[in-house]
């Protein structure tokens, strides 16, 4: 369970695994995102393949991060949301709010394409 940082094609990917119920794991997620913001990151992928659940506190961390990236002209993309996580994001209407992709490769490739207007 946790957050692991790596880079792919010059884009930061945060692999998010386990369940996030607003405790230390959520604090770790928020700190990882804040570190990327402080470093001036404009492109971030949240890989949710191994994430099985988030409560409203953890989802709030992701939402605030998206707004912070949007405000600076950047973008957060999510990928790999499956089963419960995908259902949760769809029900809360966050799946379409985030720029979502089935695979990490698709999310990386999307950063290379011009933004749709």
pLDDT tens, residue by residue, 98-117: 999 999 999 999 998 766 54
CATH of the domain at 15: 3.30.750.24
Number of domains in the chain: 1
> Tokens 């940082």, residue?
5
Is the pLDDT at 10 greater than 90? The verdict is: no
| DSSP calls for 101-112 | ESSHHHHHHHHH
pLDDT tens digits for range 23-39: 999 999 999 999 999 99
Put simply, whether the predicted model's pTM sits higher than 0.75 gets the answer yes
Residue 117 domain-assigned (yes or no)? no
Structure tokens given for 91? 């029900």
Residue 56 domain-assigned (yes or no)? yes
């Amino acid at each position: 369970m946790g957050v692991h940082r790596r880079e792919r094609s010059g884009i930061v990917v945060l692999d998010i695994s386990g369940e996030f119920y607003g405790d230390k794991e959520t604090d770790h997620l928020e700190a990882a995102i804040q570190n990327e913001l402080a470093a001036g990151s404009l492109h971030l992928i949240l890989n949710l393949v191994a994430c099985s659940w988030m409560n409203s506190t953890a989802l709030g961390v992701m939402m605030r991060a998206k707004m912070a990236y949007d405000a600076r002209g950047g973008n957060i993309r999510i990928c790999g949301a499956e089963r419960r996580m995908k259902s949760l994001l769809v029900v809360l209407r966050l799946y379409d709010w985030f720029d979502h992709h089935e695979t990490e490769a698709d999310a990386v490739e999307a950063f290379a394409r011009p933004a749709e207007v």
